[in-house]
Amino acid sequence: MAFLMGRKTVLGFVCGLLLACASQPQQTTLYQRMGGEAGVRTIVDNFLYEVGDSALLRPLFNDIDLPRFRTKLAEQLCEISGGPCRYSGDNMTEVHAGMAMNNRHFDATVTALTRAMEAAGVDVASQNAMLKKLAAMHGDVMRETIAPE
């Protein structure tokens, strides 16, 4: 009898464990939480609208190759958020080398991306996770800029 009770207890425990596991939310990547491919595309487009609205940022983006920028930024956001893409663009220091920008431009760019994520419906925790990754790129992006104050 004690033996049977023991088996029942073990069985009950295993079932409980399985149910608990089944009710846990699935692990999702940041990329998925940003809406995957379509979400990232929307974020990039929203970002460009933000740039267009910014007197500080707009002049720097006036003469860029827009289709290329959209593709490369989308690849990069996808890769750093754990998505299936590989960034095929240029090195961050080389891309931004010689650009007349300082920390105000960097902050405005990060703010523009935050607003772009907000408008795309990305939750605040995921926005913050993404901002952490962008902030970590500050050194590479700003290394060889002209940085007039």
Annotated binding site for heme: 96
Torsion of CA 144, 108, 113, 134, to 10 degrees: 40
List residues forming the annotated binding site. 96
The stretch among 8-16, 21-29, 105-113, 115-123 that binds ligand HEM (CB under 6 A) is 105-113
Largest Cα–Cα distance in the chain?
Answer: 83
Task: Decide: 93 and 144 in contact? Cβ < 8 Å.
Answer: yes
Query: Please, what is the minimum distance in Å from the beta carbon of residue 106 to ligand HEM?
Result: 4
- Asked if 114 touches ligand HEM (CB under 6 A), the answer is no
Q: How far apart are CA 105 and CA 144, in angstroms?
A: 14
Q: In whole angstroms, give the CA distance from residue 103 to residue 17.
A: 51
CB 118, CB 29: distance < 8 Å: no
Q: Which of 89, 121, 125, 143 is the binder for ligand HEM (CB under 6 A)?
A: 89
Q: How many residues bind ligand HEM (CB under 6 A)?
A: 22
How many Å apart are CA 136 and CA 23, to the nearest integer?
Answer: 35
Instruction: Please select the residue that binds ligand HEM; options are 109, 114, 126, 127, rule is CB under 6 A.
Output: 109
Q: Tokens 């699935």, residue?
A: 26
- Residue 33 or 96 having the CB closest to ligand HEM: 96
CB atoms within 10 A of CB 47: 25
Q: In the stretch 46-85, what mask flags binding to ligand HEM with x, by CB under 6 A?
A: -----------x--xx--xx--xx--xx--x---------
Provide the minimum distance between the beta carbon of 39 and ligand HEM in the complex, in angstroms, as a whole number. 17
**Binding positions for ligand HEM, rule: CB under 6 A:** 57, 60-61, 64-65, 68-69, 72-73, 76, 89-90, 95-96, 99, 101, 105-106, 109, 134, 137, 141
